[in-house]
Amino acid sequence: MTMAKKAKILKKDKERELLIVNPDAAGIDISSTEYQVCVPEYRDKDFNRRFDSFTCDLHAIARWLKQCNIKTIAMEATGIYWIQIFLILQDYGFDVILVNAKHIKNIAGKKTDVVDASWIQILHSYGLLEASFQPDNYTRQLRNITRHRENLVRTAARAAQHMQKALEMMNVKVHKVISDILGKSGISIINAILSGERNASKLSLYADSRVKASREEIIKSLEANWSNDQLFILKQAYENYTFIKQQIDDCDKEIQTCLNSFPNNNKVSDEALIRSKKRKGRKNDLNFDGENLIYKAFGVNLTRVPGMSNLTVLKLLSELGSDFTNKFSDHKRFSSWANVVPNNKISGGRILKSFVPKKKNHVGNILRMAASTLRKSNSALGNYFRKIQSRQGYAQAVVATAHKLARIIYTLVSKQIEYNDYLVLDISKQALIKKLNYHKRSITKIESDILLYT
């Protein structure tokens, strides 16, 4: 299967001509109920057709495009409606690219689906459309389950808030003496309350011996004004929480299955794994050895990077895939796509504006969350975070550190090397050398100015 070509300009003396580089190109305008498909005019009498959105219609689109000898297809990303037609066309052997709808500026005149499909086809035939990043099917399955697990974690957190509210409404202050009501002591006390126990002294016996609060404080926190309505709410919230936790465990099993079937292109062995030795999270962490399986996918252990936990690296794998470095020519393009670098508006040789665009990118959000955890880290990245924060503030430090994480991750995966702090220190050394050279030039200029007055 040939890949779609980019725009090419033919220079003839003083004239320039934009060439058609994708003659076998089609364009599809997508909506929730219909698809408008356009092919070159000479391929069919009815070259701009409307199709319904049922599965049989999607296969009809693919068969018609085969009849028209189409090889590459461009479509705009509209919600989730593009996914099935994208996958089906790929199964039929087409080279399909997904384009950001904001990047397709329609020609002047009346806007219709027919005109939009024709305009997409024309732009794609000249190679003027840039494909959006798309992972492989293995990664897409892992991404769907990982995002679903993240939604379940948020739902479990809401159920826990309902439990705490119900306890507070009955003046049960157990959260004042126990750091986490979802821990061993908290869950044991809630189970005892739901089983009918109301005596504060007996309830205090369910607290673990490692709780720092005294027995008297625990008893006081469990003296309550019991009410049937709040007990009913507590019961349902607890049942909801336990059910969701079971679903999260089922998700972990499915994620483990996906990782076991993930293409191991790096052919690494378990013995080569250098463990990160980081403390495992108490809540919401994976309940299997994710570090080993993710290491096999990437070929390097990204959990050794400061701020990168097992769950964080899993999210990156589910969004990027193990071969993402082949889809970005360098770390600059990867960082720009992840939206962790400013977009400079330049006119007349001057920078008019410099800001990070407000757009949704899951990888960028993951990197920002990882960067925010480095605020108190003793690593080189933690020092870098605090240095930027002292100069420009917390928000800018998060973005700058996320950018550095993107550069480090791209370098580690592309070169297949393990992380060490020298990667960050070398960059800092270069910055210091650059600063030193700048001050040397300033001193030289001042000395030359002094000579003018002597």
Residue 300 in contact with residue 412, Cβ under 8 Å?
Answer: yes
Residue 296 CA to residue 264 CA, distance in Å, equals 6
- Model pLDDT, residue 446: 87
Residue 91 CA to residue 66 CA, distance in Å, equals 12
**What's the pLDDT band for 315 if we cut at 50, 70, 90?**
very high
Average pLDDT over residues 386-398: 90
Residue 65 CA to residue 371 CA, distance in Å, equals 46
344's enclosing H/E stretch is strand 343-347
**What's the pLDDT band for 236 if we cut at 50, 70, 90?**
very high
Indicate whether 62 pLDDT > 60.
Answer: yes
CATH architecture of 9-125: 2-Layer Sandwich (3.30)
More confident residue, 422 or 338: 338
More confident residue, 210 or 142: 142
- Model pLDDT, residue 6: 67
Determine the 3-state secondary structure of 207 from DSSP: coil
- Model pLDDT, residue 243: 96
- Model pLDDT, residue 150: 93
- Model pLDDT, residue 352: 65
Q: Is the Cα dihedral 358, 363, 364, 366 positive or negative?
A: positive
Residue 312 CA to residue 370 CA, distance in Å, equals 7
More confident residue, 451 or 412: 412
CB burial of 131-164 (b: ≥16 within 10 Å; e: otherwise) equals: bebbbeebbebbbebbeebbebbebbeebbebbb
Residue 249 CA to residue 231 CA, distance in Å, equals 27
Indicate whether 2 pLDDT > 60.
Answer: no
More confident residue, 64 or 105: 64
How far, rounded to the nearest angstrom, does the alpha carbon of residue 212 sit from its chain's CA centroid?
39
- Model pLDDT, residue 277: 72
Residue 102 CA to residue 84 CA, distance in Å, equals 21
More confident residue, 15 or 96: 96
More confident residue, 77 or 411: 411
Structure token digits, residue 314: 């899993």
**What's the pLDDT band for 274 if we cut at 50, 70, 90?**
confident
Q: Classify residue 59 by burial, with Cβ atoms within 10 Å: 0-12, 13-18, 19+.
A: middle
- Report the candidate in 405, 332, 336, 339 with the shortest Cα–Cα distance to residue 372: 405
DSSP assigned state of 129: -
pLDDT digits (tens, 9 = 90+) for 33-55: 899 999 999 898 899 999 998 99
- Model pLDDT, residue 104: 77
More confident residue, 116 or 101: 116
Indicate whether 180 pLDDT > 60.
Answer: yes
Indicate whether 357 pLDDT > 90.
Answer: no
Q: pTM for this structure? A: 0.81
- Model pLDDT, residue 314: 92
185's enclosing H/E stretch is helix 184-194
- Model pLDDT, residue 249: 93
Average pLDDT over residues 306-323: 90
**What's the pLDDT band for 11 if we cut at 50, 70, 90?**
low
**Beta carbons within 10 angstroms of residue 364's beta carbon:** 22
Percent of the chain exceeding pLDDT 70 equals 89
Mean pLDDT for all residues in the chain: 86
**What's the pLDDT band for 129 if we cut at 50, 70, 90?**
confident
- Model pLDDT, residue 178: 85
Determine the 3-state secondary structure of 243 from DSSP: helix
Residue 239 CA to residue 182 CA, distance in Å, equals 13
